[in-house]
Amino acid sequence: MAKASENVVLHVADVHKTFGGLHALSDVDLSIEEAKTHAIIGPNGAGKSTLLNIIVGLLPPTRGAVVLDGEVLTGKKPHEINQMGVARVFQTPEIFIDLSVIDNVMVSAFAKRDGAFKLRFSKSLESEKEINQRAVKILTEFGLDDKMEEHAGSLSRGHKRRLELAMCLIQQPRILLLDEPTAGMSRHDTNTTIDLLKDIKATGMTIVIIEHDMHVVFSLADKVSVLAGGRIIAEGTPDEMRASTIVKKAYLGEAS
């Protein structure tokens, strides 16, 4: 396995995770390279979401560590890990359903500008022109400009995902983690999302994407890791993975 080269942004170093007796992750070692899109595929229950949970600080690993640009993330709190540049889109959208769409994005922008804690109550929100303009700009790019004043909770599932993506990107993160961003979407919405993600990739963003849909994986990924039963069973380019018999087996196993 290729070890940390110079342009590795995120290194998942030999991570194990057990839940009681269940080995959710074993010996997981991943190197995510700068400006590349790295897909993690694998059947349901393979441990993909658990891996992301460990990266963002939601779960501690049983063993091993996660390193971002040479700094150890493991043991840090979720807000500290985000402030270091890790942004995540969840499998079920995590947004502020009681706030308006634009406020969702503005909250995110404040976190980036002001840090983990800063009291601001002498100025009103209305006078935060710069943040507001950036929020409007990104929502326009994401095709949500006609929904800016709506409650985020009233958006369709696809739009909620899109909003969550906008919330992540307004922070200009070092690395973007996507957990099944097209799950439950129609073919048409999936294609729009692929185009959107291609644009994001073109800006030089480093992306980790968990995905079920092979069409999405082959359209976007530079590198693919296959996770099954908590282990990485194969790793390579999309074409190599397409040809691999191990991968076929893992997937056929799931289908039966």
Partner 1 sequence: MFNIPKKDAITFVLFAIVVLTMPIWLTPFGASYPALLQKFAIYALLAVGYNLLFGLTGYLSFGHAAFLGVGSYAAVWSFKLLSMNPVLALSFAILFSGIFALAIGYISLRRSGIYFSILTLAFAQMSYKLAYSVLSPITHGETGLQLTLQDPRAIDLMFIERGSSLPTSNLFGISMSGYSGFYFTAIILLIGFFIAQKITSSPFGMMLKGIKSNENRMNYTGFNTKPYMLTVFVISGIYAGVAGGLLSITDPLAGAERMQWTASGELVLMTILGGVGTLIGPVIGAWLIKYFENIFSAWNESVLHGFFAFLPDGFEDIVVTISSKFVGEGWHLTLGLMFVLVVVFLPGGIMEGARRIGTMFKNNKDKKPKQTSDSEKQSSDSEKGEG
Q: Are 8 and 70 in contact (CB under 8 A)?
A: no
Number of Cβ atoms within 10 Å of the Cβ of 249: 12
Task: Give the one entry of Mg ion, partner 1, ligand ADP, none that residue 24 binds, where binding means its C-beta sits below a cut-off of 5 to 8 angstroms depending on kind.
Answer: ligand ADP
- Binding flag, residue 44, ligand ADP (CB under 6 A): yes
Sign of CA dihedral 96, 56, 130, 158: negative
Question: Which residue, 49 or 108, is less far from Mg ion as judged by CB?
Answer: 49
Out of 83, 191, 192, 244, the only residue in the binding site for partner 1 (CB under 8 A) is 83
Sign of CA dihedral 93, 95, 97, 100: negative
Task: Give the one entry of partner 1, ligand ADP, Mg ion, none that residue 160 binds, where binding means its C-beta sits below a cut-off of 5 to 8 angstroms depending on kind.
Answer: partner 1
Nearest residue to 179 (alpha-carbon basis) of 61, 52, 10: 52
Q: Are 93 and 63 in contact (CB under 8 A)?
A: no
Interaction pattern, residues 160-199, with partner 1; x per rule: CB under 8 A: x------x---x----------------------------
Q: Are 227 and 51 in contact (CB under 8 A)?
A: yes
Out of 26, 31, 37, 49, the only residue in the binding site for Mg ion (CB under 5 A) is 49
- Span near ligand ADP by CB under 6 A; candidates 19-27, 30-38, 93-101, 190-198: 19-27
Out of 8, 9, 12, 24, the only residue in the binding site for ligand ADP (CB under 6 A) is 24
Minimum distance of ligand ADP from residue 49's CB (angstroms): 3
Please report how the helices 157-169 and 187-202 are oriented relative to each other, as an axis angle in degrees rounded to 10. Answer: 10
Q: Output helix, strand, coil percentages for the chain, rounded to the nearest 5.
A: 40, 25, 35
Sites of contact with partner 1 (CB under 8 A): 56, 77-79, 82-83, 87-88, 92-99, 103, 106-108, 110-112, 114-117, 119-126, 128, 150-151, 153-157, 160, 167, 171
